[in-house]
Amino acid sequence: PRIPWDPPPSPHPFPGVFPFQDIRNTVGNIPMEWYQDFPHIGYDLDGKRIYKPLRSKDELDLFLEKMENPEYWRTVQDRQTGADVALSDEQLELVRRLQRGHFGDVNFDPYEPSVDFFSHEVRIHPVTNRPADKRSFIPSLVEKEKVSKLVHAIKMGWIQPRKPKENVPTFYDLWAREDPNSVLGRHKMHVPAPKLPLPGHAESYNPPPEFLLTPEEKLAWEQQEPAERRLSFIPQKFPSLRAVPAYSRFIHERFERCLDLYLCPRQRKMRVNVDPEDLIPKLPRPRDLQPFPTTQALIYRGHSSLVRTLSVSPSGQWLVSGSDDGTVRFWEVSTARCLRTIPVGSVVKSVAWNPNPSICLVAVAVDEQVLLVNPGLGDRLLVAATDQLLDSWEAPEEERIQPVRWIPASPEERGKGIRLLVQHSKPVMQVPWHGKGDYWASVVRNPGSRQVLIHQSSRRWSQDPFRKSPGMIQCVQFHPLRPYFLVASQRSVRIYNLLRQELTKKLQSNCQWISSMAVHPGGDNVICGSYDSKLAWFDLDLSTRPYRLLR
Amino acid sequence: RRLCILKGIYPHEPKHKKKVNKGSTAPRTFYLLKDIKFLLHEPIVNKFREYKVFVRKLRKAYGKSEWGTVERLKDNKPTYKLDHIVKERYPTFVDALRDLDDALSMCFLFSTFPRTGKCHVQTIQLCRRLAVEFQNYVIASRSLRKVFLSIKGIYYQAEVLGQPITWITPYAFAHDHPTDVDYRVMATFTEFYTTLLGFVNFRLYQSLNLLYPPKIDSQAEDELKPAEGKEYAMDSESYLERLSALSASLARAVAPTHEDEVEMDEFPVEGETAELMDAKKKEQEALEKHKKLFEGLRFFLSREVPREPLAFVIRCFGGQVSWDKSLCIGATYEATDPSITHHIIDRPRLDKQVVGRYYLQPQWVFDSVNAKLCLPVADYFPGVLLPPHLSPFVTEKEGDYVPPEKLKLLALQRGENPEEESEEEEEEEEEEEEGDNDKEEEEEDESEKEEEMKLQKMEEQKMEEQKTQSNKVLPVKVTAGKVRVEDKQRLEQEQQSEEKRLAIMMMKKREKYLYKKIMFGKKRKIREANKLAEKRKAHDAALKEQKKKNKKARQA
């Protein structure tokens, strides 16, 4: 196939220099590197390969040629043919001119004086021969239209001349007619921005030496967060005023102040300005509160283990105490003499002396039993009357089902003073008496039902006052005057009216776990102790919340 | 945001943060709804909108390169005024004065900015003008009270209409502008502050019967002109410069009528008020004296000292001041003038000294102003180690640490001049004095220490005494009476402390917290004061030793 004759632009740098050279290589204007790996360098007009000329010269040959060939320096390789070409003198001259940045053509003069076609001189003849248009002689319609529009707009008052700038003084007496009372409502609530704190001695350029930081303090200052630092700068000392440099954070500080001014919420804070001594409450002096026990008078020795409980007889003459060593001891209060010891065989949880002065009876809670003990102390008549009262019971005709068993004491026990045993199903924790001395209650550690029982000792009769249990019951008390029954569960104290059989009040103790409870003999005040070392003092007349919480 | 800045609206802390924030406790800023509604009614909002539109049109015209339109738009540039906002925010003039601190500081800062970049040149020029005007007012009314050279800048405190106004100016160096500062916020603040300051200046000048904008007094002008030469044309720029030179007094709108001296009207007064009046009168006299501190003195500022603050301060207290003619315009007399009394200089030493004037370091001027009397010049000669520069803003309360220099100063103010004796003796005396001071401080400190501490100490002492007594006396047999007496004292104290402890135990929880906090603060204060005192003591001791060594070296 014939390739159409299309002389490719020669990659040779000087295409015009070889006018007679037939361009045999037909590959065109392509990067010659594409033929690097081939033995040929392109194709001739007939489509035959043009082979690269043999280049078997090694370094030595090159060197020899360099030395021997006087034309070597002007020899160039034609990349299209691969042949070496020695440049002629004209070509060399051209190369030099181009290197110097001159025109290639020797004859071209770049600095010819220019001849203006249109000159500033007025010629007698026009440049063009074209006659002037007609429109250059008659007034323009378009312009007329525009002008008339403007004239119309001015006539109609649509366009007005620009107002001259008013020359109002920028500053004048703004507060000339100020009225001190005309404060806006908004400004009543206005909180003015607090002023910046004034600088102290430490900020001086020449502070007293004690205000300079020691190296350790400086280190600590550097390690602190910028917000935590007490001083926002390191105090420095300069020997003279001319040595003081500009403060690098000045703009920062102004900027932070600006931010504070418009981004910080403002609030009126009442500064508590009190003398700390005024805060301390004035307590009555302890001397004014006397009499209270100041010295130890008596020690009741005899128990060999922990004393858990004690109770004083209503006459105040006797004291009964129960202890972990399994005994109940009776003491005379004034002499600390142990009058009687009753071994009961197990840990005594609670003892309670009958509050009725005409009955000499003590309830003792031991394990699952409650013993009613007649200590036989004091007036013989009283003792005898008590025994008689207990023995006067006659079994009713029909046996009623009772939650507990009443067992009369055996003669042996009777010798010890025990008169009755009340057998419960679970360990008994507490036995409080009613004020009249006939009824008593017992608290049984029996999660679920039947935690409280009320007993009547003269009739040997027990009953469960609650249908369902109000939680874990810690302790119970009889109200000393009214027919109330106080039940302390874990968090609260409930007061039941025994006559009406209903809940009267519920006292919230605000404690974690009530441990004990006591009622004032007047009947108005209740105090509750708790395991988290608090005392809740209730006034029943006031509210169901503690009147005061003592720690 | 810009509106909030201009109108002075600030966020509020809600009472129930959780409720307002719909349950979340994330930090957010809350504005009052009332405030935002108030902002919506502001007429300036429309102006802002107009301006926004203007900017948009201008940009469009630039983009299309319609220069005629650009010209026209620029001619009709919408402007707004903040007058009504100033009036609204500060209904009375005193309110405005109260809030002037920040405005002044900001203006002084902006007036030191370079004329390129950060903000508009007009703003900077305006700030400069207003600042200079305010300074001139302070000079004319002599209301400067305190000056303090800190490492941050120079604090000034003036009293205008009974309101203390404090402002800070940076030292005159080029700022290296931080990148993490939003200059737009600052510029908005400055915009408002310049307006405020302009009105305040006007009012202040009016109150002094001065012309506003200020004019230099014609007499002074005549004096100035020949000295000045013809290099300076009377254009506004150089006029401002002359004003800022602060050397000439200002023209009064009404001719001054012979320094009408302010004499307090005397009312017939009775007993208690008379004393009060006397005290007030004394105060007034002291103030007058303070105002005329540098009256009759002629200062010359060497070229290495900061001219502007010094000239300002000296002129504020009635002194006359001049400087090298080539330094700044407005110099009134030459350095060779024989009537100069004080030459302020900040070089280690001077080659040629003229007899008949004091050569002093600039700190003397500031310290004298703060001390309200001309301090002895001996400490301030060039090349001398300067005494510490104390802050005049600190008023020590009881229990605070008072540096010994302050005590000395107070003594000077009371009029107890230290006797002039030979140098060594004086030194010794000084040392003694300092020692005394230290002792006093210690005593004070001790008295303020915790009672418990004291008690403990007492107990320890007593225990020791007892021990020693018992050790000594065992063989000799002591009568028991003495011991009992001491016991009683101790018991009493013990009982008191016990009572206090019980009482503290009985306090309510909140009060106890408060009490503990207060006591903690007190303790910390005492601790810090003690620390400072200790440091001072150590420093003095070191100095003393150094002196001794030097003496020995000199002798040897």
Q: Per the CB < 8 Å rule, is B151 touching A204?
A: yes
pLDDT band (50, 70, 90) for residue B479: low
Q: Is A200 on the interface with B (CB under 8 A)?
A: yes
Q: CATH number for the A470-550 domain, one of 2.40.10.480, 3.40.50.300, 1.10.10.60, 3.40.50.10380?
A: 2.40.10.480
Q: Per the CB < 8 Å rule, is A265 touching B153?
A: no
**Residue B322, min C-alpha distance to chain A (Å):** 19
B residues 212-231 lying closer than 8 A (beta carbon) to A: 212
B residues 151-180 lying closer than 8 A (beta carbon) to A: 151-153, 155, 166, 170-171, 173-178
Using CA of residue B211, residue B215, residue B218, residue B220, what is the dihedral sign?
positive
Domain residue spans of chain B? 1-76, 101-221+237-245, 294-394
| Cis, peptide link before residue B226, omega less than 30° from 0 | no
Lookup: tokens for A119: 């000159």
Identify the residue with better confidence: B213 or A257.
Answer: A257
Written as one string, the DSSP assignment of A210-234 is GGSPPHHHHHHHHHS-TTT-SSSS-
The reported pLDDT for the residue numbered A283 is 72
Q: Which CATH fold would you assign to the domain B294-394?
A: Rossmann fold (3.40.50)
**Residue B543 in this model has a pLDDT that exceeds 60:** yes
The reported pLDDT for the residue numbered B456 is 59
Tell me which amino acid residue A420 is: L
**Percentage of chain B surpassing pLDDT 90?**
2
Question: What number is the average pLDDT over the span B215-235?
Answer: 45
Look-up: residue for tokens 């509210």? A543
| φ/ψ (deg, to 5) at A221 | -60, -40
Q: Measured between beta carbons, which residues in chain B are less than 8 angstroms from residue A206?
A: 149, 363, 386, 388-389
Q: Per the CB < 8 Å rule, is B29 touching A283?
A: no
**Residue A158, min C-alpha distance to chain B (Å):** 17
The reported pLDDT for the residue numbered B330 is 65
Identify the residue with better confidence: A212 or B230.
Answer: A212
Question: Which of A170, A174, A257, A551 to mutate to test binding with chain B, by most B CBs within 10 Å of its CB?
Answer: A174
The reported pLDDT for the residue numbered B432 is 42
Is the distance from CB of B196 to CB of B96 less than 8 angstroms?
yes
The whole-angstrom distance between residue B157's C-alpha and the CA centroid of its chain comes to: 5
**Residue B481 in this model has a pLDDT that exceeds 70:** no
Least confident of A239-248, A492-501, B252-261, B414-423: B252-261
The reported pLDDT for the residue numbered A143 is 93
**Residue A475, min C-alpha distance to chain B (Å):** 29
Domain residue spans of chain A? 31-78, 303-391+403-437, 470-550
Mean pLDDT for chain B overall: 73
Q: Is B205 on the interface with A (CB under 8 A)?
A: no
Separation CA A353–CA B61 (nearest Å): 109
Least confident of A67-76, A128-137, B154-163, B443-452: B443-452
Separation CA B429–CA B438 (nearest Å): 14
The b/e string for A454-491 (b: 16+ C-beta within 10 A; e otherwise) is bbebeebbbeeebeebbeebbbbbbbeeeebbbbbbbb
Query: What's the pTM?
Result: 0.60
Q: Per the CB < 8 Å rule, is B394 touching A201?
A: yes
**Tens digits of per-residue pLDDT, B352-394?**
777 778 888 888 888 888 887 777 777 788 777 788 888 888 7
Written as one string, the DSSP assignment of B94-150 is HHHHHTHHHHHHHHHHHHTS-SSSSS-HHHHHHHHHHHHHHHHHHHHHT-EEEEEEB
Question: What number is the average pLDDT over the span B260-270?
Answer: 40
Separation CA B169–CA B109 (nearest Å): 6
Burial class of B48 by CB neighbour count within 10 A (0 to 12, 13 to 18, 19+): middle
Residue-by-residue pLDDT tens, chain A, 551 positions: 344 444 444 444 444 444 444 556 777 788 888 888 888 888 888 888 888 777 667 788 888 888 888 888 888 877 777 777 888 888 898 999 999 988 888 888 888 888 777 777 888 887 788 888 888 899 889 999 999 999 999 999 988 887 777 776 677 777 777 666 655 545 556 777 778 878 888 888 888 877 788 888 888 888 887 777 777 778 888 877 888 888 888 888 888 888 888 887 777 776 666 676 777 777 777 777 777 777 888 888 888 889 988 899 888 888 999 988 888 899 988 888 888 888 888 889 899 988 888 888 889 998 888 888 888 887 788 888 888 888 887 777 777 777 788 888 888 888 888 888 888 888 888 899 988 888 889 888 877 777 888 888 888 888 887 877 777 888 899 988 888 889 998 888 889 888 888 888 888 888 888 888 999 988 888 999 999 888 888 888 888 888 888 87
| Cis, peptide link before residue A239, omega less than 30° from 0 | no
Q: Per the CB < 8 Å rule, is B182 touching A252?
A: no
Hey, is A485 helix, strand or coil? strand
Is the distance from CB of B147 to CB of B155 less than 8 angstroms?
yes
Is the distance from CB of B319 to CB of B298 less than 8 angstroms?
yes
The CATH homologous superfamily for domain A303-391+403-437 is YVTN repeat-like/Quinoprotein amine dehydrogenase (2.130.10.10)
The reported pLDDT for the residue numbered A237 is 82
Q: Per the CB < 8 Å rule, is B535 touching A241?
A: no
The reported pLDDT for the residue numbered B340 is 81
A residues 264-293 lying closer than 8 A (beta carbon) to B: 264-267, 272, 274, 276, 279-283, 285-286
Q: Per the CB < 8 Å rule, is B29 touching A265?
A: yes
Other C-beta atoms within 10 Å of A177: how many? 7
Closest listed residue to residue B187, CA positions, set A170, A260, A255: A255
Identify the residue with better confidence: B60 or B217.
Answer: B60
The reported pLDDT for the residue numbered A499 is 86
Q: How many CB pairs under 8 A join A and B?
A: 230
The reported pLDDT for the residue numbered A17 is 43
Closest listed residue to residue A90, CA positions, set A148, A17, A25: A17
Q: By CA distance, what is A285's nearest residue in B?
A: B499
Using CA of residue B184, residue B188, residue B191, residue B196, what is the dihedral sign?
negative
Q: Per the CB < 8 Å rule, is B393 touching A285?
A: no
Question: What number is the average pLDDT over the span B445-471?
Answer: 51
Identify the residue with better confidence: B475 or A519.
Answer: A519
The reported pLDDT for the residue numbered A23 is 56
In DSSP terms, which residues pair with A331 in a beta bridge? Answer: A319, A338
pLDDT band (50, 70, 90) for residue B442: very low
Q: Per the CB < 8 Å rule, is A175 touching B199?
A: yes
Question: What number is the average pLDDT over the span B131-151?
Answer: 84
Least confident of A80-84, B113-117, B474-478: B474-478
Q: By CA distance, what is B205's nearest residue in A?
A: A173
